Amino acid sequence: MTAELDVDALLGRLRATFAAGTTRPEVWRREQLVNLRRMLTEHEDRFAAALGADLGNSPIEAYITEIGFCTSEIDHTLKRLRTWMAPERVKVPITQRPARAEIIREPLGVALVIAPWNYPLQLLVLPLVAAIAAGNGAVGKPSELAPATSAELARLVPQYLDTGVDVATALLAARWDHIFFTGSTRVGRSVMAAAAPHLTPVTLELGGKSPAIVHRSAHLEAAARRIVFGKFVNAGQTCVAPDYVLAESQIAAPLIDHIVTAVRDFYGDDPAESADYARIVNDRHLRRLESLILEGDHRVVHGGRVDAAQRYLEPTILADVDPGSAVMSEEIFGPVLPVLEVPSVDEAIRFVVEREKPLALYVFAEDGEVVDRVLDRTSAGGVCVNHTLLHLGVSDLPFGGVGESGMGAYHGRAGFDTFSNHKSVLRKPSRPDPSVIYPPYSRWKRKLLRSAL
């Protein structure tokens, strides 16, 4: 969308469509979701090529993290849509009977979805799936930092869906019925401020520094491989990537050795030659990441090489990291992994609790009591025990942040509920119509009402 777009006219058309009831029937919702899935499968090669151009993703990485992830969510939604749409019966207290109570999930209206650049397809499509399933009209804003993927979306979406994909900062000034934003905490504050004058509800999927706690009881080789997988997929440009590792002192050195081995196993001696290792999105982010490596007194255990012409940053492992250094003061969002030693898991818990609540937390331990202790004493948007990232793939687990890492959730039923108003309905027959609840309140009425209530 260009700056010349008439936002009021766009919203007017969408509101008219919504008011006409076009988006409410189950058949319309299903048709849009099926068409969206068809778009993804029929043009898988084009989307994979675009993701390769924007982020250097290999075709299989593009499928696992974006295309296939989206089609799986659509399939999950289609199977359960009728159940989600059905009114939910609620038990009526005996004092209210005869009556019937229910919760009707009705669409909010017209929603705006703002997607980031790191997963430019998945993080636009998944919220749209939820908005459409709930019966809303929707406008999607893809990221200008992923131009190839955004261009494919702009070209293909109007061919498959009734709702188009538009891009403009002016959209935030309009009055929406819901705004769904994925991106940085800094921009999230601006989105929330723009929504406030209209009292527009927002879902903010932000980020933060997601820790991985490794206890001495952990299976170190498996933990290392799973941390490397979660950290370096998409070259670390994942909002729930392990941002740093807190390892108990007695196992920190062997864990680092296993991490370095896993990096070599996954990407070879020269990851620049690996078909499975992505690139940094642009020069500005590459320079920012390079400065995080160069600043501070930490030790580069592995990696650190940069090829600016290719937007390449080698998978980098840091040790002896100062908790007050630049690399520990902001979300890294790239292939740089600090490993910090802690004397105990209790100290690791303290370290996490003293900082902002993360979007994800990972704990590696074979000792169940330790796992439970971490779960009980920390707060995070989501937790994965003895692995990384995989909790995102469980559609019935709500995905969202807490505190600085966001508000609201989606995936599966949670997404349907996010884009729905839960309307409470009580149905009463006209008869009987006992006079006991109406004035005047005689002594026996007061006694009866106090007893009943």
Catalytic residues: 205, 239
Distance (Å, whole) CA 189 – CA 23 = 31
Distance (Å, whole) CA 228 – CA 258 = 10
Q: Are strands 100-107 and 137-141 parallel, antiparallel or unpaired?
A: unpaired
Closest CA relative to residue 135, chosen from 421, 414, 424, 425: 421
Cis peptide before 211 (omega within 30 of 0): no
DSSP characters for 393-411?
Answer: G-TTS-EE--GGGEE-EES
- Please, what is the end-to-end C-alpha distance for the chain in angstroms? 58
Distance (Å, whole) CA 346 – CA 352 = 10
Backbone φ and ψ for 409, nearest 5 degrees, come out as -150, 160
Distance (Å, whole) CA 316 – CA 289 = 10
HSE, side-chain direction, 13 A CA sphere, residue 226: 21
Distance (Å, whole) CA 269 – CA 271 = 6
Structure tokens at 119: 């997963």
Closest CA relative to residue 305, chosen from 320, 323, 317, 296: 317
Structure tokens at 4: 């010349």
Tell me which amino acid residue 43 is: H
* CA atoms 305, 309, 310, 311: torsion sign: positive
Query: What are the distances in angstroms from CA 346 to CA 134, 365, 373, 376?
Result: 43, 13, 9, 12
- The separation between CA 19 and the C-alpha centre of its own chain, rounded to angstroms, equals 30
Distance (Å, whole) CA 431 – CA 122 = 53
- 263 bridge partner residues: none
